[in-house]
Amino acid sequence: MALFQHLRDSLHKTFPLLAAASAAAALASCTAAPGPAPSSSVPSAPASPTATPSTTTAPATASPSPDPGTRPLGWGPEQRDQDAAAAAVAEMSTEEKAGQVLLPFFKGKEVEAHAALIERLHLSGTIIMGDNVPLAPGGGMDVHGMAAINQRLAQAAGTAGRPWPAIIAVDQEGGQVARLGPPLTEWPTPMSYGAAGSVPLAKEAGRGLASELVPLGFNLDFAPDTDVTIGPSDPTIGARSMSSDPGAAASLGVAFSQGMLAAGVLPTVKHFPGHGSVTVDSHHNLPTQPASVAELSGRDWEPFKAAIAAGSPMMMTGHIEVPALEPGVPASLSGPTYTALRGLGFKGVAVTDALNMGAVTKQYPGGTAAVMALAAGADLLLMPADAGQAHAAIVQAVATGGLAPERLDEAARRVATMMVWHGRTAAGTAAPAGSAGGLSARVSASAVTMVSGPCGGALVPGAVRVAGGEPGDRVRFEAAATRAGLSLGSGPLVSLIGYGGRGAGGDIAVALDAPWPLQDSTAPVKVALYGRSDGAFDALAAVLAGKAPAPGKLPAAVGPFPAGTGCP
């Protein structure tokens, strides 16, 4: 409670508008066992018997129905976990502590060189990116090779004999962001969960995705993305967001996290203070978030509040300038941002977004960003552009007084505590690669949305043509159409619109990622699919052939079609 009092006082001084709104929630998290965020059912209005197309709309503020079996995530290390971490960190040199707060990447297949760097700098572990993934002779990921690489890097990180596992992380959200490909299950975009509107299904999917990571040696995934999207002007998040509705993004994000943790993989809720409502891509430049703290608290921060209440172990801060908190500084390097996050009651590990992104490197070269982030309140620094430079800068900053040694100690203890707790409590649920294919297909079948068009019967008379998308999309569509009993080469024209695509003509327009391009389409029938997996195309083909309904609802507005549009 002393910690809460300190955070609350700091919060009042820094931005009083937020303090009143968040103090009660933060106090509750100190005194009571938190539960999942409240949610309500998505109502559907009856379809008009004369309307063609026949769609219904639900209120944009509605949230998916709750899972009666939902429990808090469980973040809450016991005293023995904290004691073990504190004792180990107390014995570390400054160099060792500096390594424990860095999570680096490496290029290509330079595994042994990276293992040597991990050992030399005492690094916390590693993140695996797409170019690190070994390929099998026949194509796809070499599953055994990936597991061997992770085992080698974990071994390198454990050479100091510390009493916790190394962090072996990956960025695997599903949809556009998936560093690991086949034979792992291919998942549709996270927006599918918002369209499906089912908390239990999101939880099941989180567990299914994470279960296939466990046999490969991964224990941390930078997912789920709980940003609240504002629609077409959001260039970075888009279909990575589950919904434009804060309540839906909150309940679905908690559920997905619960599933991941149940499988034995640490989830990471991202990107505080909210990346879905800025209009610049932080991979290239620094976005500015013009909203007030009150506006952020009522929209972008709702999913983070829910995750905190449920006990999220880790949250990622984004490279977003928020003048209402600190003008000119990315949130990931800003003290008021971390004060706000702690003021909401967060007790876990605060990790930065990748420090090699343009929003940071263009302003803070060398190891500057690493020191700034730590001093601001970050605990784990993800992907510094040069891990050696970042490590040296941290050590030098402590030696010269530029970084308080107590701040480095606190950050190292938080990371160590999380991994001690996880190592003691995780009961990994390992699943073979590809075993969740049926579940992924069920997600897409639950999400496919009729934005404009009839809600029953076949949309094509036994035959169909296809255009647009990528060549691979068309191949998958044709295979799915054949499985659904449709012939190819004649009949209505289906126009596929992929990521970054624009509105299309034809008879039936299908958005494969975010649904925004449908607002510019002249096709009379408009369908949002939210994915390009085989399961997603099977769901589409079944709807076209009249063999299955399109039960999804738009999780965000698309031009004149409000959030909630869909068949009854």
**Residue with tokens 């990315």, as numbered in its chain:** 330
Active-site position among 227, 300, 353, 473:
353
Residue at 220: amino acid letter: L
Q: List Cβ neighbours of 452 (8 Å cut-off, separation of 6 or more).
A: 53, 55, 518, 524, 525, 526, 561
Token pair in block for residue 64: 């998916």
DSSP letter assigned to residue 329: E
Among the listed residues 16, 39, 30, 1, the one whose alpha carbon sits nearest the alpha carbon of residue 346: 30
Active-site position among 12, 142, 281, 283:
283
Query: What is the Cα–Cα distance from 121 to 124, expressed in whole angstroms?
Result: 9
pLDDT at position 565, please? Answer: 98
DSSP letter assigned to residue 552: -
DSSP annotation string for 225-265 = B--B--STT--SSGGGSSBSSHHHHHHHHHHHHHHHHHHT-
**Residue with tokens 């639950």, as numbered in its chain:** 446
- pLDDT of the chain, 568 residues: tens digit per residue: 333 333 333 333 333 333 333 322 332 223 222 233 333 333 332 232 222 344 444 333 334 443 433 335 666 788 999 999 999 999 999 999 999 999 999 999 999 999 999 999 999 999 999 999 999 998 999 999 999 999 999 999 987 678 899 999 999 999 999 999 999 999 999 999 999 999 999 999 999 999 999 999 999 999 999 999 988 887 788 999 999 999 999 999 999 999 999 999 999 999 999 887 776 666 767 788 899 999 999 999 999 999 999 999 999 999 999 999 999 999 999 999 999 999 999 999 999 999 999 889 989 988 999 999 999 999 999 999 999 999 999 999 999 999 999 999 999 999 999 999 999 988 778 999 999 999 999 999 999 999 999 999 999 999 999 999 999 999 999 999 999 999 999 999 999 998 777 777 899 999 999 999 999 999 999 999 999 999 999 999 999 999 999 999 999 999 999 999 999 9
Question: Residue 36 — φ and ψ, nearest 5°?
Answer: -70, 160
Is residue 159 within 8 Å of 119, Cβ to Cβ?
Answer: yes
Q: List Cβ neighbours of 406 (8 Å cut-off, separation of 6 or more).
A: none
Residue at 267: amino acid letter: P
pLDDT at position 163, please? Answer: 84
pLDDT at position 120, please? Answer: 97
Sign of the torsion angle spanned by Cα atoms 177, 348, 419, 379:
positive
Question: Residue 464 — φ and ψ, nearest 5°?
Answer: -155, 150
Is residue 320 within 8 Å of 328, Cβ to Cβ?
Answer: no
Domains and CATH numbers, the chain: 2-26+180-425 (3.20.20.300), 437-544 (3.40.50.1700)
DSSP letter assigned to residue 517: G
pLDDT at position 498, please? Answer: 86
Among the listed residues 538, 565, 540, the one whose alpha carbon sits nearest the alpha carbon of residue 554: 565
Geometric angle at alpha carbon 383, from 202 and 109, rounded to 5°: 95
Is residue 172 within 8 Å of 209, Cβ to Cβ?
Answer: yes
Q: List Cβ neighbours of 67 (8 Å cut-off, separation of 6 or more).
A: 36, 199, 200, 203, 255
DSSP letter assigned to residue 548: S
Among the listed residues 318, 255, 213, the one whose alpha carbon sits nearest the alpha carbon of residue 63: 255
Among the listed residues 284, 283, 289, the one whose alpha carbon sits nearest the alpha carbon of residue 324: 289
Please measure the distance between the N-terminal and C-terminal CA atoms of the chain and give it in whole angstroms: 49
Query: What is the Rg, in whole angstroms, of the alpha carbon atoms belonging to the chain?
Result: 24
Query: Is 225 annotated in the active site?
Result: no
Question: Which pTM does this prediction carry?
Answer: 0.88
pLDDT at position 540, please? Answer: 98
> Tens of pLDDT along 524-566?
999 999 999 999 999 999 999 999 999 999 999 999 999 999 9
Query: Is 144 annotated in the active site?
Result: no
Query: What is the Cα–Cα distance from 554 to 561, expressed in whole angstroms?
Result: 8
Is residue 315 within 8 Å of 307, Cβ to Cβ?
Answer: yes
DSSP letter assigned to residue 566: B
pLDDT at position 282, please? Answer: 63
pLDDT at position 7, please? Answer: 31
pLDDT at position 281, please? Answer: 66
Geometric angle at alpha carbon 180, from 177 and 183, rounded to 5°: 125
Checking DSSP bridges between strand 321-322 and strand 326-330, what pairing results, if any?
Answer: antiparallel
Is residue 403 within 8 Å of 371, Cβ to Cβ?
Answer: yes
